[in-house]
Amino acid sequence: PVAAASIGQVYKAELKDGTEVAVKVQRPDILESIALDLHMARGLAALLKKLTNTDTDLVGLVDEWGAGFVQELDYRREAASGKLFLEAMAARGLDAVTTAE
């Protein structure tokens, strides 16, 4: 891999026409690992709320954070967001700001 992250790895590849590309691959069984982590975090959040008597919805915070994290597993969505980002930057004349296409 040429890069690694918590949920995947990036490999350098070449298309049949010779174009160099990056291929992002998710780690096997990552959704199950994330689900377990979030389940444990929810339990800890509930316990912390009880122990500290806070008014903050800690379980709700974990749920919101977790929903965003799970959305990062959708690489097609990420690619579509990247395209929209590029279009928005170009519309503002900020062509130097870029992301993967």
pLDDT by residue (tens digit) across 38-63?
999 999 999 999 999 999 999 999 99
Residue 23 reports pLDDT greater than 80: yes
Place of tokens 């979030």: 38
Beta-strand relationship, 8-14 and 3-4? antiparallel
| Distance (Å, whole) CA 62 – CA 59 | 5
pLDDT tier at 78 (50, 70, 90 boundaries)?
Answer: confident
| Distance (Å, whole) CA 10 – CA 21 | 10
| Distance (Å, whole) CA 44 – CA 5 | 25
Question: pTM for the full model?
Answer: 0.65
